[in-house]
Amino acid sequence: MDASKQDKFNEEKLNSFIGQLLSDLGGAASVPLVRIGDTLGLYRLLHEKGPMTPAALAGASGYHERYLREWLSAQAASNYLAYDGKTGAFSLPPEQAMVFAVESSPVNMIGAFDMMAAMVENQKMVETAFRSGKGVAWGNQAGCLFCAVARFFRPGYLNNLVSAWIPALNGVVEKLQRGARVADVGCGHGVSTMLMAKAFPNSTFIGYDFHEGSIAEANAHARAHGVTGNLRFEVGLAKDYPARDLDLVTFFDCLHDMGDPHGAAAHVRKSLKPDGTWMVVEPMAQDTVEANLNPVGRLYYSASTMICVPTSLAQEERTALGAQAGESKLKDVIRSGGFGSVRVATSTPFNMVLEATA
Bigger pLDDT: 251 vs 9: 251
CATH number belonging to the domain at 10-100, selected among 3.40.50.450, 3.40.50.1110, 1.10.10.10, 3.40.605.10: 1.10.10.10
Q: How far is CA 350 from CA 5, 106, 230, 261, in A?
A: 41, 11, 30, 21
Q: Coil, strand, or helix at residue 89?
A: strand
Q: Give yes or no for residue 143 having a pLDDT over 80.
A: no
pTM of the complete model: 0.92
Give 144's pLDDT tier (boundaries 50, 70, 90). confident
Q: How far, in Å, CA of 272 to CA of 289, rounded?
A: 34
Report the DSSP pairing between strands 204-209 and 181-185: parallel
CB 355 within 8 A of CB 279: yes
Nearest-CA neighbor of 277 among 132, 174, 192?
Answer: 174
Fold of 110-357: Rossmann fold (3.40.50)
Which pLDDT does position 146 carry in this prediction?
A: 86
Beta bridge partners of 355: 279, 343
Q: Does residue 4 carry a pLDDT above 70? A: no
What are the structural domain ranges in the chain?
Answer: 10-100, 110-357
Residue 51 has pLDDT above 60, yes or no: yes
Residue type, 180: A
Which pLDDT value is given to residue 73?
Answer: 98
At residue 274, the 3 state secondary structure works out as strand
- Percentage of the chain beyond pLDDT 70 is 98
Per DSSP, which regions of the chain are E strands?
82-84, 89-91, 181-185, 204-209, 231-235, 246-252, 272-283, 341-347, 351-357
Give percent above pLDDT 90 in the chain: 92
Residue 182's closest CA among 235, 241, 237?
Answer: 241
Q: How many whole angstroms separate alpha carbon 347 and alpha carbon 215?
A: 28
